[in-house]
Every structure is written in structure tokens, then in C-alpha cells.
A and B are shown apart, each in its own frame.
Chain A
Amino acid sequence: MIETIAASRCPRCDMVVAPPATYCPHHPVAMVPAELAGVGEVVTFTTLHTAPTGFKSPLHIAIVELEGGGRFVCHGADTRGLKIGATVAIEAIDDVYYFSHLGALERARLFWRRTGRAGDRVNAIARSLAKKVWKSRSVGTSA
């Protein structure tokens, strides 16, 4: 199962932004709601070694171009081996979006973070299995 990300689209210039905005950044026009799949290409990424208050170092941050157009900021469990242009999946954990470049270890880490935080292990296991099926299908497409 792939996460759905709420976005909005400008009826004038077709710009897509995520999360949704009231007005287009480039036009004084009300945006219309849109939904994007949580899959995309890494535009750029960094590892912050002096994270601000409320975050743990090292903090992995990426900008991902979602399929369908919008660019999205998210966290990651790791950036080792990650390259600009790589295909990643994005999932929400407690309302925070994480990218994962589909390695087994990272999957496990995100999985345990999810179960640890949410405490809903049954749900987590079910979702993880569903994603595993999707993952095995899409590994070959990562750049």
C-alpha cells in the first residue's frame, strides 16, 4: 500500500504544492485539492549534524519530487548510498513523513519506530507486509 499525500493544484498554472496551500505561490488564485502518491524521485538531500531543538542529530532531510508534480520535504532514516534521482517511497509516521530508499535495514528501522511510537503493532505489521509486496515490485526501478 502506498501512502496518499494531500496536495493542491493551481487552476491557472497547474503548479502542485504539498502540503496543500490556500493560494498558488505565483497567482492570487484559490488552489484546488489534489492527492499524490507517496512515491517520487530525490531532488536533493542533506544530513544535519547540528539539529535544532526538538530534533535528534544526525537529521536526514530530503526534497522529493512526487509522481504527479509536487515537491515534498521529508525525513529519512539514513542517506547512505542515497543519490539524487533515486526513487523513494514516502510514508507518514505520527504525522511526520519519512522517505525510505527501500533497503531492508531502513525498512526495519522505520517499522520499529512506528511500532514504538504508535504502539499499534498489529496495524504496523499488516502495513509492513503490504509494503513489502509493493517494494519487491519496485526495487528494479530505483535509479
Chain B
Amino acid sequence: MTRVGRRSEPLPALMAEAALAALADAGVETPDAIVVATMNPEEFVGDGNFASHVATHMGFADVPALRIETATSSGAAAFYAGVAQVAAGLRRTVLVVGGEKMTHLPTPRVSEIIGRSIDPYERRYGATMPALAGLVTRALMTLGGVNAREIAQVAVKNHANGARNPFAHFQQPVSLEEVLDSRMVADPLRLMHCCPISDGAAAVVLNPERGAVRVAGIGHGADTLAVRHRRELTSFVATKAAAREAYAQAGFGPERIDVAELHDAFAPFELMSLEDLGLLPPGKAGRATLDGDTALDGRLPINPSGGLKARGHPLAATGLAQIVECVWQLTGRAAGRQVAGASCALAHSIGGLATNNWVTVLERA
């Protein structure tokens, strides 16, 4: 994968950088097929037919390429499509590459483009992703018993991890006070609860042979596009459904997970996801986070890469960046942030406001 952050290269160049590194790592020159994940290159960079665009740019004009999109979880969805092709025996070696280029646009324009994934009626009322996350966070704090320090600690922990990751957008630690004092974005959500706008790309190579890491299970969960159509606001139905499917395929549950990359686009989402995934019992995520259980040296390290908060969130790259981090953790290649002896890892990706979520369980072979 590429270093995430403010990058000057065009999107195809970033995706080629990630893809060629993954292919070199796998000892493959040309894959049999390519799956491309980009959320909205039409609006972010003005190009369409992006699977062919990227494939041609990196010298694979003759390799069949298709594009997958499920909003902010597109990278995880592309991974699923790649695994499905290999598992079905349709292709042998599949390159999955995801990327997004956003920092060249002004922030309101970026918010507007990301906001396309929100229900049109709710958008007419000014709903942006931070606004919807603010609505969820208010419910979580009032009904879910989560407090401001617990939410802030997620950002503190993930920045501390990002400071150890040379690929991260933010490599500086932050204090609890800095997070608690940062400006209000969507009350009670503050600026330092939110992930940054990032450029970057990530890639993996899949093949049916026994390698260092195997895919134990992939689950896909869905929910209503409109947040107002949901009964439950303090947990995500789509995460729970995806987790059930992934664990059923794996043949084991959350008790086997040693390390996880969760979708902390907004810090409170990490607390919700810990419980939705069954990694912690209901109502315990906030306290466990304050107690350091989810820190790099804790019982269950969460987001060793820095998460979306510190590694950054180049939209369609993110789901794959999480999987890359899991693979590095399982193969002892996460220098500076290695979780000792990790043999089972989980990646969790949220699409839109949790309308299209993915859970991927990986195991050391």
C-alpha cells in the first residue's frame, strides 16, 4: 500500500504504486484478473470507466478488470469480489486494488461528494456524514451510557498507534485534552473525533494456493439507506449481520480474534463496532478503551495501524488498507506496532452510514 496523506500524484499513479508493490510481494508479474475499488472517481478526479483506466495505466490493458463500489466500504467489497472469483475457480491470481484522491478539492466539496451516499431526503435537510454521525453519537451518549472521555480516548489511542506507522496520515500523538477541546463539528461530535480527508491506495493479491495467510470468512451486512427508517441507533445492524456471516464461515467466533482493524471514521463508531462484533460485551467498550484494553499493549489491540482516524481514510482504499495491516500483523511485518503472536485478525468496514458493511476474518495458515 501507499503512504496515506496529502499526495500530489494522480489517482492511477497511487493505485499503480500499491498494486505493483503487492504483486512484487506475491512474486506475480501479471494477474489473471483485476478488481478495482474507487468510490467516486467521476467526481473526485473527473474520470470514469476506472477499472480499464487503472489497468491500462499500470500495463495491464489485456487483463480483465472490473470495478466494485459500496460507498466507503468499496475496498472490502472488492476484496470479497476477488475472493469469490478465486473460490469459484473462475480466476487463479486476482489483484485487488483500491484508492481515492480527495485532498486536491476544498473540504465542503469533498463532504458533498461523500454525502452522495446519504438518503436524498435526509440530504435535503443538510445531513452530511458528520451530521448523521452526530445524531448517532448523541443517542449513544444518552441511551448507550458512553461518555465523552471514552470517545476521546479512541482518538488518543489511534493517534498513538499511527505515530508508529510510517504509512499513516497522522504520525503525531494527541492528548485527551486536545481531543476534548477540539472544535464542535456536529454536536456532540468534535473535529478530533473525525477521520481526515486523505489520498492513498492499497492492494492485495489473491490465489487459491496455501500461502502465509488464509481468508477464514467474509460477511456482508446491509441496512436501510435512510437513518430515520431504523429502530436502533446505538448499534449497526449491518455490522452484526456481517459478523454473524463471517464467524459462521470461519467456524469460530470473536474469542479467537487477536487483533482487529475497525472502521473508526468517527471515534464513537469504534466503541459501537467493538460490541456489534462481539469483541466486547454490550456496554463495556468505553470502559475497556479507557482502561487500555484496546491499546497496542492491551488484551485486544484495536487499530494498530492508527485506524481511519490516524492512518487516514482514502475511502475505497480503506477496506483494503485494513486487510493489508491484518496480513502484516499476522506475518510479523508490522514493524514498530507489531502485536506479538497474532494468529487471527479481523477487518471491519462501514459503507455509507452503515448501510453496506463488511467483516473479514483472516488467519495465519
* Chain A residues near B (Cβ < 8 Å): 15, 17, 19, 25-26, 43-55, 59, 61, 63, 71-75, 79, 83-84, 96
CB distance from B124 to the nearest CB of A (A): 8
How distant is the Cα of A71 from the Cα of B184 in the complex, in angstroms? 26
How distant is the Cα of A74 from the Cα of B125 in the complex, in angstroms? 7
Contact A48/B121 with A25-B229, A63-B135 known, Cβ cut-off 8 Å: no
Does chain A have a CB within 8 A of B210?
A: no
* Chain B residues near A (Cβ < 8 Å): 108, 111-112, 115, 121-122, 125-128, 130-131, 134-139, 142-143, 183-189, 224-230, 233
Specify which of A26, A44, A59 is in contact with B139 (CB 8 Å cutoff): A44
Q: Are A53 and B112 interface neighbours, CB within 8 A?
A: yes
CB distance from A74 to the nearest CB of B (A): 7
How distant is the Cα of A105 from the Cα of B319 in the complex, in angstroms? 48
Specify which of A25, A51, A83, A84 is in contact with B226 (CB 8 Å cutoff): A25
Contacts A49-B187, A73-B122, A83-B142 aside, 11 further interface pairs with beta carbons under 8 A come to: A15-B229, A17-B229, A44-B142, A46-B134, A46-B137, A48-B126, A52-B111, A52-B128, A53-B108, A55-B126, A63-B233
In the bound complex, residues from chain A placing their C-beta under 8 Å from that of B122 are 73
Q: Are B130 and A43 interface neighbours, CB within 8 A?
A: no
Which partner residue on chain B sits nearest A51 by CB separation? B126
Which partner residue on chain A sits nearest B230 by CB separation? A71
Q: Are B130 and A63 interface neighbours, CB within 8 A?
A: no
Q: Are B138 and A84 interface neighbours, CB within 8 A?
A: yes
Q: Are A47 and B186 interface neighbours, CB within 8 A?
A: yes
Q: List 29 A-B contacts (CB under 8 A).
A: A15-B229, A19-B121, A44-B136, A44-B138, A45-B138, A46-B134, A46-B138, A46-B187, A47-B184, A48-B131, A48-B134, A49-B183, A49-B184, A49-B186, A52-B108, A52-B112, A53-B108, A54-B126, A55-B126, A61-B126, A61-B131, A63-B228, A71-B228, A71-B229, A73-B125, A73-B127, A74-B125, A75-B125, A83-B142
Q: Are A84 and B128 interface neighbours, CB within 8 A?
A: no
In the bound complex, residues from chain B placing their C-beta under 8 Å from that of A15 are 229
Count how many pairs of residues, one from A and one from B, have CB atoms less than 8 Å apart in the complex: 93
CB distance from B109 to the nearest CB of A (A): 9
Which partner residue on chain A sits nearest B223 by CB separation? A25
Contact A46/B233 with A73-B122, A84-B139 known, Cβ cut-off 8 Å: no
How distant is the Cα of A73 from the Cα of B131 in the complex, in angstroms? 12
Q: Are A61 and B125 interface neighbours, CB within 8 A?
A: yes
Which partner residue on chain B sits nearest A19 by CB separation? B121
Specify which of A44, A52, A53, A83 is in contact with B135 (CB 8 Å cutoff): A44
CB distance from A126 to the nearest CB of B (A): 27
CB distance from A93 to the nearest CB of B (A): 13
How distant is the Cα of A74 from the Cα of B122 in the complex, in angstroms? 9
In the bound complex, residues from chain A placing their C-beta under 8 Å from that of B233 are 43-44, 63
Q: Are A50 and B226 interface neighbours, CB within 8 A?
A: no
In the bound complex, residues from chain A placing their C-beta under 8 Å from that of B230 are 71
How distant is the Cα of A83 from the Cα of B142 in the complex, in angstroms? 9
How distant is the Cα of A51 from the Cα of B136 in the complex, in angstroms? 17
Q: Are A43 and B187 interface neighbours, CB within 8 A?
A: no
How distant is the Cα of A53 from the Cα of B230 in the complex, in angstroms? 27
CB distance from B270 to the nearest CB of A (A): 19
How distant is the Cα of A49 from the Cα of B185 in the complex, in angstroms? 5
How distant is the Cα of A54 from the Cα of B124 in the complex, in angstroms? 10
How distant is the Cα of A78 from the Cα of B226 in the complex, in angstroms? 23
CB distance from B118 to the nearest CB of A (A): 10
Q: Are B108 and A73 interface neighbours, CB within 8 A?
A: no
Q: Are A73 and B121 interface neighbours, CB within 8 A?
A: yes
Q: Are A46 and B128 interface neighbours, CB within 8 A?
A: no
How distant is the Cα of A86 from the Cα of B143 in the complex, in angstroms? 14
How distant is the Cα of A52 from the Cα of B116 in the complex, in angstroms? 12
How distant is the Cα of A75 from the Cα of B125 in the complex, in angstroms? 7
How distant is the Cα of A55 from the Cα of B225 in the complex, in angstroms? 22
CB distance from B279 to the nearest CB of A (A): 25
How distant is the Cα of A80 from the Cα of B226 in the complex, in angstroms? 26
How distant is the Cα of A93 from the Cα of B17 in the complex, in angstroms? 53
In the bound complex, residues from chain A placing their C-beta under 8 Å from that of B229 are 15, 17, 25, 71
Q: Are B131 and A46 interface neighbours, CB within 8 A?
A: yes
CB distance from B257 to the nearest CB of A (A): 31
Specify which of A17, A47, A84 is in contact with B142 (CB 8 Å cutoff): A84
How distant is the Cα of A70 from the Cα of B230 in the complex, in angstroms? 10
How distant is the Cα of A51 from the Cα of B138 in the complex, in angstroms? 18
Which partner residue on chain B sits nearest A15 by CB separation? B229
How distant is the Cα of A15 from the Cα of B227 in the complex, in angstroms? 14
How distant is the Cα of A55 from the Cα of B128 in the complex, in angstroms? 11
